Structure 1
Amino acid sequence: MRVGAGATLATLAQTSVRQAKAQDNKAQVLAGATGAFDDGTVRQIAKRLASAPYKGPDQSLPKAIENLNFDQYRGIAYREDRALWHSDNLAFDVEFFPRGFLYKPRIEIFEVNDGQSAAVPYSSDLFTYSDPALEVQQDLGFAGLRLRTAINTPGVMEEFCVFLGASYFRAVAKGQNYGLSARGFANGTGDPKGEEFALFRAFWLEKPQPNVKSVVIHALMDSPSVTGAFSFTIRPGDTTVFDVQSTFFPRTAIQQPGVAPLPACSTLMPTTTTT
């Protein structure tokens, strides 16, 4: 019993240390993420990050969900009635993905309303669970997000855009199914030494006004080689159009960059600068 108790205490202590380090890293990376927000906020954060060594986001997960398979992950579903903006009579709402399976990094998500940014709070009861043992009562945070609108049938909200995994995103137009994904940045694609996958590690969702048919999302990208600030203005419909503004801040010399490979089923109109 003493050995078991000691092992349990040691495990708890290690978990507490990991959580404390993750919180310190999060605070350093996302300083300025909440409060007053404007078009330059994410660029300022990205520029500051690029001047310091890369520190990835927290990827540690509780034992109950650290090795989920595909079916287990799919069994954790966001509750439609808890979607962001669900009760606000807007053209859009937002659902979030849980962490686990291939999507372990914690992605920070903020809502911007009237020029002020605030974190979107996480709670395990935002989801339903096919296996109750997979519900963990901790502040795990999210892995990504999906946007919904009445793209096919009036009054019926359907997913039309997803940001999930690395810097990948994809979208559909009316009456279409998903095709290829785009991504914010590629580095070393096809290189025998291996490819670097940048990560959208934070999103800021601008709350749209009533009757507005576009939605604006800002994203902070990070990787060992480069940081980036993105602004997506997304207009779904018969043709789903992305207006993308991006600014990159290299940490190192980049020999094989790729910017915004085109997705299927949508139109991507990028404007890119490098600092």
Structure 2
Amino acid sequence: MSLSRRHFLQLAVAVNALSLFKAGMVNAEPGIGLKFGPPSPFSFETLKTLARERAGREYAPPPQPDPAIVKQIDYDAHGKLQYRKEAALWAESGGSYPISFQHVGMFFPKTVIMNVVEKGTAREILYDPRLFTMGPDHVAKGLPASPSAFAGFWVHESRKGSDWKTREPWVTFLGASYFRAIGELGQVGLSARGIALNPGTSNPEEFPDFVSFWFEPAAKTDDPVTVYALLDGPSLTGAYRFLLRRTRGVVMEIEAALFLRKDIERLGIAPLTSMYWFSETAKPTGVDWRPEVHDSDGLALWTGVGEHIWRPINNPSHIMVSSFADKSPKGFGLSQRDRVLDHYQDGVRYHLRPSAWVEPLGDWGEGAVQLTEIPTDDEIHDNIVAMWVPKEPATAGKTYDLRYRIHWLADEAFPSPLARCVATRLGNGGQPGKPRPKGVRKFMVEFLGKPLAKLPYGEKPEPVITATRGELSRIEIEAVPDDVPGHWRTHFDLAVTGQDPVEIRCYLRHKDEVMSETWLYQYHPF
């Protein structure tokens, strides 16, 4: 995605009002309202059949309204295309959560067909330029009514709240197969995708599109908004059903049927995409005035055998792909654990970014959670991908039936009961007051949690540390001097030569009892 992440997050909230399609057309203002196409039968099974049939045909990209005009709808011009408040789906009746639509533009140039469903019947929601605010000289006025110029949609807070028109939408689908949600702290941040194809490989990454959506209303605020989606791309098609629930954050239950047209080198299931520039762990001197800049600071894993793992994210000098082999994983996610404003000092509120947790439903079998870290020198790029990659090759003609949930919260959906890693810091190794030896790095890893708080007075946990290469020394453990019960830190030196990465592993134990989750870190020698 080429759109600046900061600009994306600052797009104005466009909120609208509309009744269900069976009412025909809403005339809150003369000439303004939704119009609908002819009815046709619809179900998830018919959508699966459509996806399967498309996979058997040659790929045809979705239509694009006049490219010469669309490429002129830049960030500023797109921001002026706000969907009219009197034209949101279900703003007055028919569903608890209004839906507004987003316009095509330079960063989202492809048409996405929108449909509304009632009692097994679907109608297309027809594009009309009058649904958007456009000044008399706006470049988008030159677009014809067909093909549609819808590019995505927003799901708004309950229409029963008087402030839903000004609050942050709680779900957004916009661009390729990208979608995102706010967490319980009221912020958006990282994104999810319908699928990821070949990230971090020698082959170009492919970005299939959600080319059509179908909407079923939530009768009550406790009910889910149901969204169906048709995915299409050169290498595969897919039929998706999203059950979107507004909880203290957002929970999405997702069912997907995938049909492969071509062999795929790396098929990424339930991919999460985020931004990590630098943090307290390590950063070049003077790279930026802020102490930290990231939407997520680590990958959390809950393995099939029950181990909880925390892997801090890096900004490497070249693309790195790390694989965490597993069988029947219980879950994984990209998290923002650092919630202290002073650690960021940024008005965009990085400390409130959501964490996203993927919960597999059913047995996903053998494979690996793969973490792709891409170098970046700015915060405008999504440079982190986490996803599940099945062990078996993804070959043409193969099908996949998947179910999973994504929890958009402040923390992991199922946090470890053990002490958890709360900070990772790197510095020069050796002893203060003496020459610092070259090639020696000091690591400081902090853990916090109830098991450590329950240690008998005078007893210490034991750090268990291993490294794939190099020599470990000066291993120590101490309580952090902040009078917080259960807050401990271990520090150690690692002497290593050469530039190859080093995988380091650490956890705390007391006698035979494991006290903490497992900290993993990929160290890149300077």
Question: Which residue of structure 2 lines up, in the alignment, with residue 205 of structure 1?
Answer: 215
Question: Which residue of structure 2 lines up, in the alignment, with residue 144 of structure 1?
Answer: 152
Q: Aligned-pair distance for 1:89?
A: 6.2
Change in 2 beyond 3 A, CA 1:253/1:181: same
Say which of 380, 390, 400 aligns to 1:274.
400
Matches within 5 A, 1:24-173: 35-61=40-66, 63-88=68-93, 90-130=95-135, 132-134=137-139, 135-136=141-142, 138-139=144-145, 140-141=147-148, 142-150=150-158, 154-157=161-164, 158=167, 159-173=169-183
Cα shift readout 1:133-166 (whole Å, capped 9, x = no counterpart): 3223621421011111149x93322311111111
Report the TM-score when normalising by structure 1: 0.80
* Contact 1:96/1:146 (8 A) holds in 2: yes
Say which of 226, 243, 253 aligns to 2:236.
226
The one-letter code of the counterpart of 1:136 is: G
In 1, distance between residues paired with 2:69 and 2:259?
38
Q: Aligned-pair distance for 1:67?
A: 2.4
Aligned residues between the structures: 242
In 1, distance between residues paired with 2:56 and 2:69?
37
Cα shift readout 1:90-124 (whole Å, capped 9, x = no counterpart): 32011111111111111111100111000011100
SS at match of 1:243: strand
In 1, distance between residues paired with 2:183 and 2:216?
21
Question: Which residue of structure 2 lines up, in the alignment, with residue 177 of structure 1?
Answer: 187
Change in 2 beyond 3 A, CA 1:241/1:266: farther
Question: Higher relative CO (CA 8 A, sep ≥ 6), structure 1 or 2?
Answer: 1
Q: Aligned-pair distance for 1:83?
A: 0.6
Change in 2 beyond 3 A, CA 1:193/1:34: farther
In 1, distance between residues paired with 2:206 and 2:69?
29
Moved more, 56-65 or 201-210: 56-65
Q: Aligned-pair distance for 1:55?
A: 0.4
Question: Which residue of structure 2 lines up, in the alignment, with residue 5 of structure 1?
Answer: none
Aligned CA-pair RMSD: 2.4
Matches within 5 A, 1:234-253: 234-253=244-263
Q: Aligned-pair distance for 1:43?
A: 0.6
Moved more, 139-148 or 83-92: 83-92
Gaps of 5+ in 2: 1-37, 274-353, 365-398, 402-526
Gaps of 5+ in 1: 1-32
In 2, distance between residues paired with 1:62 and 1:255?
31
Identity fraction in percent: 29
The one-letter code of the counterpart of 1:202 is: S
Report the TM-score when normalising by structure 2: 0.43
Moved more, 126-135 or 48-57: 126-135
- Rg: which structure is higher? 2
Question: Which residue of structure 2 lines up, in the alignment, with residue 187 of structure 1?
Answer: 197
In 2, distance between residues paired with 1:90 and 1:265?
28
The one-letter code of the counterpart of 1:274 is: Y
In 2, distance between residues paired with 1:34 and 1:227?
24
In 2, distance between residues paired with 1:79 and 1:196?
34
